[in-house]
Amino acid sequence: MPNDTQRIDIITGRERRRRYTVHEKVRFVEETMQPGMTVSAVARIHGLSPSLLFGWRRRMAEGGQMAVQADDEVVAASRMRELEARVRDLERLLGRKTLEVEVLKEALAVARIKKAAWPLPSPPAGSSR
């Protein structure tokens, strides 16, 4: 019977999930592209879930396709969320300013009507003018 050793990762501390760098993820995905290697085999070797590895492969393929279609570089999802949040904030600010302008226009229109309705004082009866 061969001496089979099994890798066991002990996760300590608060964080329950392992974090992989971008370089590690790319390396794992590139290993799945090697002739004779399968996703399940690479996942088993590195102690990963095959579904996690399949997800990384899919994201890399989608990112590459998007870059080719747009003829541009791929933007990170976090940067995109950051920019979308900025757009939402600016739209909210624009809405407030638009509302302020409308209120001020209405107030100006009311003030002009009241000003026109005020009678001008007439000169006293015995004065010469």
Look at the chain and report how many structural domains it folds into: 2
Distance CA 122, CA 9 (A): 98
Residue 5 maps to a domain: no
DSSP letters spanning 100-115 = HHHHHHHHHHHHHHHH
Distance CA 49, CA 110 (A): 69
Q: What is the pLDDT of residue 78?
A: 84
Residue 38 maps to a domain: yes
Distance CA 108, CA 122 (A): 27
φ and ψ at residue 90, rounded to 5 degrees? -70, -40
pLDDT single digits (tens) 22-81: 888 888 888 988 898 899 999 999 888 899 888 888 888 877 656 555 556 667 778 889
Query: How much of the chain is helix, strand and coil, in % rounded to 5?
Result: 65, 0, 35
Contact 39, 56 (CB under 8 A): no
The angle at the Cα of 47, spanning 41 to 49, to the nearest 5 degrees, equals 75
Q: Does one domain contain both 58 and 17?
A: yes
Residue 87 banded pLDDT, cuts 50, 70, 90: very high
Q: Does one domain contain both 70 and 112?
A: no
Q: Does one domain contain both 93 and 51?
A: no
Q: What is the pLDDT of residue 71?
A: 54
Residue 94 maps to a domain: yes
Residue 41 maps to a domain: yes
Q: Does one domain contain both 64 and 87?
A: no
pLDDT single digits (tens) 13-24: 666 677 888 888
Distance CA 93, CA 70 (A): 31
Distance CA 13, CA 2 (A): 35
Residue 123 maps to a domain: no
> Which of 68, 38, 70 lies closest to 54 in space, CA to CA?
38
Its domain, for residue 33, covers 11-74
Residue 58 maps to a domain: yes
